[in-house]
A and B are shown apart, each in its own frame.
Chain A
Amino acid sequence: MTNTLHRFGSAESFVDDYVIIAIPAKGAKDRGDPLPALRRFLEIALEYNPVNIGDAMHGGATRPTRHTNPIEHFGERPTKPDFETVIEGADAPTTFSAVFDKRENAEKFVARIKDENLGLSVNISSSINNALDCCQKAGLTRHSVGYSLGFEGIPDNDPNRHALMLSTMCGHGMISHAFARKAIDFVRENRRTPDEVIAGLSRFCSCGIFNPSRARRIIEDARKKNF
């Protein structure tokens, strides 16, 4: 369950990365069915312009395509997130997430979730200061904190840092380092647009915590810089 915690990057690289998670405590059966509250969590998130939402059973807002006819090969594939599909498909209590790229949206969402009183455990996975700011704006005191000490032995200036920043945005490890590297190279060579490769990367994230805005910034950074 450390799937959002260990994201590679400096504290500054999380400036546009707010992963907000709602989770019902396992075994807390006396608290009733948590699914309505979890769905409500996602519905409220849509009011604050998330860049991704998802649940751990079905995935995020950009999912793999499944063709049934060869002709579909010649059509365009969607690169924009489909939030409604996520909400409609949420049929079991698990970890639900909403990802924001703007501080004000994340802060307003946290304040709203506090007011909604959903009865769920809610966590912010981001830089420590981002989370503190959200709490302060919402008038919340932190209950617990889980620090990431990072990947032992991998320095911030690793020559593969851009690919690592992309691949570790799926904490389940479903986005391979080689694919992240290929996505960067495809953009550098102008063979694919950032939107196209970001959609491709997002499709591998199995719970919707991939941040496409941060990915775009990383890819643009990698496109222009020499390693």
Chain B
Amino acid sequence: MPAAAFSDKDAVNPLKSPDEIGMKINPEKCVACGNCTYVCPMGAIYIDPVRFKATINADACVECYACYNGLSREVLPPRTVRATRRAMAKLLMRFEPDPDICPTSAFEPDELSWPRVVRRAFSDPRVPHESTGIVGRGTEEVKTNDVTNRVGVGEVGFTIEFGRPGVGAWFHEIQEMSRALALIGVAFEKKNPVTSLMTDSATGDIRPDILNEKVLSAILELKVPVERVEEVIRTVWEVEKRIETIVAIGVGTRCDENGDEKVVAPILERLGYTLKRAKTNLGLAVKRPDNLNSTQTKTEKAGA
């Protein structure tokens, strides 16, 4: 069983209730322009018709920080903006800042505590997972297979992603899939962040205290012999009918000595998939001895 990726220490801040923790919109600054309601990937922000302020639905918010990091920030005086908006409204005109701007820099992140911190770890791409030490929601999969040989000849690596585009995923939905896959006896990738949150990777059980946490997306990773590709895909199909989130499958494998891949693609096509897009590892990571110092020399020249 893998070690937990996240620590429980200092998990609960006794000074704050769960509703007070997380991304906030400063009501003194918010001018209710509505820009943030569009840019939230989860649609978790709305203009409260009573308060006339942008408000975050904390249950739907996944702490991805797209609002805080992605919105450009201006520092217009809130009172002036509100007065301008009211005057323009009387003239049937509207205040229209660029759609990717918060005109008063109203977003204010707050410290997250357990288990809500899990939302950000899976949703904000700039926050490295403690379990992997890299930025991202999964491992390097086949992207570094030319170094790691993680997926060998005759093997297939699966990435089963939940939550995109734009719906998010609850860990209880992910657990439904992980349990079904565990039942057919697959082994989950140990360095994957979701695996590290399992209490038992043999059963696919995920920590109960995070099952009601929502993330923008998360990825289950596993590896099977090529003979089991169809079994895994049919299992995913069966479960994805029962859960509300959206599933996207990635299938990684080795090419032969000629660079061809004629084993897995036919299986996928027989299952009804039209293969369009892929990431292709070019096998360039192994430095050739004829040119070992090229990088250093050229970089030094570039900086000279």
Contacts and interface: CB of A to CB of B under 8 A. Distances in A.
Interface of A: 1-11, 14, 21, 23-26, 28, 31, 36-37, 39-40, 43, 56-57, 64-70, 72-73, 77, 94-95, 110, 113-114, 116-128, 131-132, 135, 138, 140-154, 164, 167-168, 171-179, 182-183, 186, 191-192, 196-197, 200-201, 203-204, 206-207
Contacts of A122: 281-282, 284-285
A66 B292 CA distance: 42
B250 A146 contact: yes
11 contacts: A1-B139, A26-B134, A40-B302, A43-B302, A135-B280, A147-B265, A148-B276, A168-B164, A173-B41, A179-B38, A192-B98
A2 B254 contact: no
A67 B74 contact: yes
B242 interface: no
B51 interface: no
A123 B143 CA distance: 6
Contacts of A3: 125, 136
Contact of B133 (A26, A123, A125, A172): A26
A116 B76 contact: no
Contacts, number: 351
A220 to B, nearest CB: 19
A145 B75 contact: no
A168 B276 CA distance: 15
B222 interface: no
Contacts of B298: 40, 116
A180 to B, nearest CB: 9
B165 A151 contact: yes
Given A11-B277, A148-B276, A176-B43, A23 B164 contact: no
B203 interface: no
Contacts of A197: 99
Task: Point out which of A3, A6, A176, A182 has the most chain B C-beta atoms below 10 A from its C-beta.
Answer: A176
A23 to B, nearest CB: 5
B75 A150 contact: no
A53 to B, nearest CB: 15
Nearest to A148: B277
B161 interface: yes
Contacts of A154: 165, 246
Given A25-B147, A28-B147, A114-B282, A94 B165 contact: no
B126 A57 contact: yes
Contact of A149 (B103, B139, B250): B250
B288 interface: yes
Contacts of A128: 275-278, 280
B32 interface: no
B31 interface: no
Interface in B123-171: 123, 125-126, 132-148, 151, 157, 159, 161, 163-166
Nearest to A94: B135
Interface stretch (B6-14, B63-71, B85-93, B113-121): B63-71
B247 to A, nearest CB: 5
A68 B74 CA distance: 7
Contact of A140 (B41, B97, B259, B295): B259
A132 to B, nearest CB: 8
